[in-house]
Amino acid sequence: MHTTDPAPDLTNDAFLGGQLTLTQPASGYRAGVDPVFLAAAVPAQSGQAVLDLGCGAGAAILCLGRRVRGLRLVGLERQSFYADLARQNARKNALAVTVHHGDLEQMPAALRQDRFDHVIMNPPYYRRDRGTPSPDTIREGALGEDTPLTAWLDQATRRLMPGGHMTMIQNAERLPEVLRAMDARLGSVVVKPLCPRVGRAASLVIVQARKGGRGAFRLAAPLVLHEGDTHRTDCDHYRPEITAILRDAAALAIA
């Protein structure tokens, strides 16, 4: 990811091998590879509608829009600072995204009346009852959870059309909470572990489910990110299939 500095408190960061450029804060919450993996895992097709809950500066929804053309892209973000950045980033990258400023527990009326083929989300990874909150209010709002996962999944399910897909990325240690937060409206659940290296425990999981799905639960083979069993140099040493996702906007196969 290449970075330049357009202002003292903002940077321009290249994603997808330079196919996308995002402005985001120089400090605080900054999008990295996680939203790229999330976007790559969404089985969207041209002509479909996608909602990104908690879209931040727009990394996931814009990566998806760059990979799959002809989508109707919508984001919801509760922090006005990030909602404004997402709108700016969409314009800068010539992608049409409607970004709503609001809280998912008090869904804007326009979204309450809308339905989507896909809902994607990257909820905060850390619970506020575990650890010390950050003094940076923007970072804390992005990384620290004060909206429970049950609310994220309930609102995602409500916004889905029958047969639509929910796709999320989360810390691996919180997978039990994610599964408990789902109810009978979601089924055909697939979990894809993301492991740093062979022999290492999964650090992240991608969870996908269908509204009204009746398929059996599946724990997919892990996606290993780096070559080798240890970190030997300053290079990232991504495996070829990971490089294709991060640089060339390739899709990530869940099953």
Please choose, from the candidates 177, 189, 173, 186, the residue with its C-alpha nearest in 3D space to the C-alpha of residue 255: 189
* C-alpha–C-alpha distance, residues 247 and 232, integer Å: 22
pTM for the model stands at 0.89
Q: pLDDT-derived band of residue 182, with 50, 70 and 90 as boundaries?
A: very high
* Strand arrangement, sheet containing 10-15: 3-7, 10-15, 20-25
Percent of the chain whose pLDDT exceeds 70: 86
- Quick check: 134 pLDDT over 70? no
Q: pLDDT-derived band of residue 141, with 50, 70 and 90 as boundaries?
A: very low
Give, as one character, the DSSP assignment of residue 172: G
Give me the amino acid identity at 68: V
Mean pLDDT of 99-123: 96
Q: Which two tokens stand for residue 19?
A: 């196919």
Point out the least confidently predicted range of 112-121, 144-153, 224-233: 224-233
SS3 assignment, position 112: helix
- Quick check: 228 pLDDT over 90? no
pLDDT at 231: 57
Mean pLDDT of 148-159: 97
pLDDT at 27: 84
